[in-house]
Amino acid sequence: MKNIAADTPVRQIFDVYHGAVLPILLKDKTTGKNILWATDEYEAISPKNEIEFKDITGGSLMLVRPRIAKTLGTQRDRTKKRAEVFTPAWVCNQMNNALDNDYLGYEGAFNVEGESAWTASRKKIRFNDGKSWQEYIDQTRLEITCGEAPFVTSRYNPTDGIFIEVKDRIGFLDRKLRVVAENANGDEYKKWSMRSLESSYGYEFQGDNLLIARINVFLTWVEHWEKKLGEKPDVKTARSAANVIAWNFWQMDGLNGRTPQIKEKECGQMTFPGFEVENESSESVASEECLIYDWRSHCSRTYNSLKSKENGK
């Protein structure tokens, strides 16, 4: 079985498109700059620095690794500092199934659950009560504090790093792309494949996690496309998809809806909101309200304004 930890997502995307899409996936659409590292895990890299293309390519393709490939000490440290705990794939499946069972009105559409596992259903997904497959694709779904985006796409199990074949995946983007493949061909598939990306969202604080999440979303879109059409998307189409992903998966402090406000203590050590040491003066890196894009209305909006609208304010 292929283990994702032995071949990092950064290396995988670089091997596929030779750097053509990686610069786009590094962009922060709110600031117009690159996403921040926002973690003190990496020696000689400040958390307030942007992640640069040169930082993670060349001889550094293995620098940014999935959580499962990090040392146990690093995993414990990230859990302590940022409450980082990744959800097993079978739990993600159960939660995504609960959403789909409610929407579709029946169980077992995508898979049958077993003990800490599942078996994919091979029958075409059925839509009842006036619902359509197009409506399902356009449903907006969001993974909050998404880490490496295991609820969005299950390219590998977060707890052991084992690669999961396209036909067996259970993320909500995987499900959208399966439905598209079952109902559309050729240019129609290409159109609705992109719309699947446009309706899938997630946000994350730590920059390395966000980069991995974006790459996982991009690569799963490519892998579904290749399985359906027998070829990878051309570079122009791939760059368009990367732009959608850069908008839809953004870096944010979920407590305030703003870009990470990273504080650097006078002694030169780094800290984060909620983990400051009392009586030590600090200088904050300015933050902005995060922007996301509404692809159906063709406009950007702040995340906070959408929250206020949802709450009736």
- For 194-235, the pLDDT digits (tens) are 999 999 999 999 999 999 999 999 999 999 999 999 999 999
What percent of the chain stands above pLDDT 90? Answer: 68
- Is the pLDDT at 256 greater than 50? The verdict is yes
Give the domain ranges of the chain.
4-255
The per-residue pLDDT for 59 is 83
State the average pLDDT over residues 6-12: 79
pLDDT in tens, 18-64: 889 999 999 999 999 999 999 988 888 999 999 999 998 888 878 88
pLDDT of residue 18: 80
Mean pLDDT of 92-114: 97
**Which residues are CB-contacts of 219 (< 8 A; sequence separation ≥ 6)?**
9, 12, 13, 16, 155
Residue 287: predicted pLDDT: 85
- Model confidence pLDDT, tens digit, residues 169-185: 999 999 999 999 999 99
Encode the chain in three state secondary structure: CCEHHHCCHHHHHHHHHCCCCHHHHCECCCCCCECECCCCCCCCCCCCCECCHHHHCHHHCCCCCCHHHCCHHHHHHHHHHHCCCCCCHHHHHHHHHHHHHHHHCCCCCCEEEECCEEEECCCCCCCCCCCCHHHHHHCCEEECCCCCCCCCCCCECCCCCEECCHHHCCCHHHHHHHHHHHHCCHHHHHHHHHHHHHCEEEEECCHHHHHHHHHHHHHHHHHHHHHHHCCCCCHHHHHHHHHHHHHHEEECECCCCECCCCEEECCCCEECCCCCCCCCCEEECCCCECEEEECCCCEEEEHHHHHHHHCCC
Phi and psi angles of residue 270, each rounded to the nearest 5 degrees, phi first:
-105, 150
Identify the CA nearest to 81 among candidates 230, 270, 280: 270
